[in-house]
Amino acid sequence: MTTFVSMTYNLWGGHHLDARVPALRSLFEVRPPDLLSVQELTPRLRELIDAALPGHRRVDDPFPGWGTQSNLWWRDDLFTLEEHGAEDVGIRAEHARLFWARLRARPSGGGDAASGRSDAAPGPSDAAPGRSDAAPGRSNAAPGLSGVAFGASDTPPGREGPHPTGGHRQTRSLGDTDAASGRSDAAPGPSDAAPGRSNAAPGLSDVALGASDTPPGREGPHPTGGHRQTRSFVYATAHLTWPGHPQERADDVSPRVGQARNIVAALDRLAGDGPCLFTADVNDYARPLWVLREAGFADAFAALGRSSPITHPVVPLPGEGQGQRPGWAAPEPVAKAIDWQFHRGPLRPRCAEVVEFFHEGVAPSDHKPVVVTYTLPDKEKP
């Protein structure tokens, strides 16, 4: 069984970013998640998160939306990337998509430590036949086993592990990416793989692998004497269209119901009945949520027998305020819960929280992060 903490967070783009940078850094230092999905991303914010979460990896893809809309981060010692993509679901913003990744829980007990390699998609320098996927002199084992020097003493165990080049070793798509649509097309066939090596095949079946077919890093000692077979799952995020979009103001028709239906169709295709975690800024309080629930998705709060607290807006915020507190925005008239984490399949939420966080009186964003702890059971042994 794998237990992990997932955070979804609308970062508020570049609004008053200089004033918010210290608060954002502090949040990720104090509350570092195992999985992170974001909305309203910018290249500067992406760099900030890379630096704040050095033990994580994220999707590295040429499609612009991965740097200007959303991205997904995961702890490298807990998960490995199998494939990723970006699906056009009709969201009315340039490069906005349903962004997703298929992750697999790493087996405890050091399967990757024993092999000294990472199962993440190879970088460009790894493509040449005969090369090792591991960086010279570096083990991709979980921090604490690899001998990588730890950072500052207040870094939580498992968070350390910057790449020797000073940044993250970023993964790339295993499929051909259509930059115009942001979609990953058909899963690569055998001819797409470099000679003599096997990429982590997209759509890898959850059927237990035979001894001779088990890729390095997938195996791990099982307490009963066999191998622990971990699960893959789909992790996805989207930012549905804001109600103030000019087209919606002109025709008074919400596009979010159709967007939610398109998201369900895409996740049905990508995840089937398997575990799926979908996070979103829904920008709505009713009908898109009903579409997701009717498709079998449960939000973490409802699954735990409670209602979600308010996620937007945060008060106070830096802004163009007047009166006794110039430089601070007045609160918006409607407080609402619009940021969600939905799950389907064998994922189980254990606790859920809408985080109140300020650093020296400043909030990191106009939204509050939603944090959920999940458990994902291992596959049954055959």
Q: Could you list the mean pLDDT of each consecutive 10-residue stretch along the chain, which spans 382 residues?
A: 98 96 98 99 99 99 99 98 98 98 83 38 38 38 36 42 41 40 41 40 36 40 54 98 94 97 99 98 97 98 98 84 57 86 98 98 97 91 52
In DSSP notation, 277-317 reads EEEEE-S-SSHHHHHHHHTT-EEHHHHTTSPPPP-B--SSE
What total number of domains does the chain contain?
Answer: 1
What tokens were used for 1? 């069984």
What tokens were used for 254? 């919400």
Taking the CB of residue 199, how many other CB atoms lie within 10 A of it?
Answer: 17
Output the pLDDT for position 210. Answer: 35
Q: CA 274: distance to chain centroid?
A: 17
Residue 226 covered by a domain: yes
In DSSP notation, 176-191 reads -EETTTTEE-SPP-GG
At 66, which CATH number?
3.60.10.10
Residue partners of 176: CB distance under 8 A and separation at least 6: 184, 185, 188, 192
Core vs surface per residue 344-376: b (16+ CB within 10 A) or e: bbebbbeebbbbebebeebbbbbbbbbbbbbeb
Domain range for 287 is 2-188+215-376
CA dihedral 83, 84, 89, 92 (to 10 degrees): -170
| Contact between 92 and 245 (Cβ < 8 Å) | yes
N-to-C CA span, the chain: 16
Distance in angstroms (rounded) separating the CA atoms of residues 178 and 55: 29
How many residues make up the chain in this entry? 382
Residue in this structure with the two tokens 């612009």, named with its chain if needed: 64
| Contact between 7 and 375 (Cβ < 8 Å) | no
Output the pLDDT for position 322. Answer: 54
Number of alpha carbons in the 13 Å side-chain half-sphere of residue 120: 27
What tokens were used for 89? 């679901």
Residue 230 covered by a domain: yes
Q: Among candidates 222, 238, 240, 241, which has minimal Cα distance to 230?
A: 222
Output the pLDDT for position 328. Answer: 63
Distance in angstroms (rounded) separating the CA atoms of residues 129 and 178: 25
Residue 198 covered by a domain: no
Q: How much helix, strand and coil, in percent to the nearest 5, is found in the chain? A: 20, 25, 55
Residue 207 covered by a domain: no
Q: What is the pTM of this model?
A: 0.70
Distance in angstroms (rounded) separating the CA atoms of residues 82 and 101: 8
Residue 73 covered by a domain: yes
Residue 200 covered by a domain: no
Distance in angstroms (rounded) separating the CA atoms of residues 77 and 113: 10
Output the pLDDT for position 143. Answer: 39
Output the pLDDT for position 19. Answer: 95
Output the pLDDT for position 381. Answer: 52
Residue 61 covered by a domain: yes
Helix (H, G, I), strand (E, B) or coil at 264: helix
Residue 209 covered by a domain: no
Output the pLDDT for position 327. Answer: 60
Distance in angstroms (rounded) separating the CA atoms of residues 178 and 184: 6
| Contact between 140 and 134 (Cβ < 8 Å) | yes
Distance in angstroms (rounded) separating the CA atoms of residues 161 and 53: 9
Distance in angstroms (rounded) separating the CA atoms of residues 308 and 344: 18
Give the DSSP H/E element, type plus range, for residue 373. Answer: strand 370-376
